[in-house]
Amino acid sequence: MKSIVEEASSIAKAIENGWVRAGKPQEFTVRIFEEAEKNFLGFIKKPAKIGLFYKEPPIQQPGKGKDIRRQQVRPLQKSSPERVKPEQKPQQEKKQDQVIRQQQQASSSPAQEPKQPKWTPDLIEGSKEWVNTMLKTINQNTPYTVETKHYYLTIRFASSVVHDKRKEQLLFKNWSHLLLQALRHKFKRGLRGYKIIITRAV
């Protein structure tokens, strides 16, 4: 179901504008979120706000545009005050508000992050195997821990791997890059957004 949120100086005007924006659908429903408010001089203080929900694209029929508007818009104006009452199904109104917000965010926001698990057990195990191989290459047996959080995998050594601190930092930086490339190659995955942090406990 598609929806449009419209604001105008009156509920009737907001419904009409929303109906036109939606392409004049034959079947639609209206939810009134706020009524218009005027100050003591008669000027609009707060515009009326409605949500228009429709299921199918508009079907234009020549000569019947005015009849559709008379048959569907006017009855909604009469029943609209009842829908504004907070006593009537507040949970449904909240759900419809959430649906509208989600649809607006989906249309304006970039693609969302993938919902698959970030660091899977096979990726973690592959990372440990690679680190163990590197430690054997430099004749080290330094213990370490592995932690994951969202896209981040942190490998923390219990003690120094290289005595020179600067060289150790450079080594960890290179290892992080090489390990990520090795995981991509081994598991044939893009791993876009994944980060590996290799550090030493203070």
Domain ranges of the chain: 2-108, 121-200
pLDDT digits (tens, 9 = 90+) for 138-176: 888 889 999 999 899 999 999 888 888 898 899 889 999
Contact 30, 93 (CB under 8 A): no
Assessment of whether the complete model's pTM goes beyond 0.75: no
pLDDT digits (tens, 9 = 90+) for 37-75: 877 776 777 888 888 888 766 455 555 555 444 545 454
Using CA atoms of 131, 137, 138, 143 in order, give the dihedral in degrees to the nearest 10: 30
Q: Measured in whole angstroms, how far is the alpha carbon of residue 179 from the centre of its chain?
A: 30
Among 14-28, 77-91, 184-198, the least confident range: 77-91
In this predicted structure, the answer to whether residue 4 has a pLDDT above a threshold of 90 is no
Confidence of residue 93 (pLDDT cuts 50, 70, 90): low
Average pLDDT over residues 20-37: 85
H/E segment holding residue 74: helix 65-84
| pLDDT score of 99 | 67
Span 121-200: which CATH code? 3.30.70
Handedness of CA 120, 129, 176, 164 (dihedral sign): positive
Average pLDDT over residues 103-119: 58
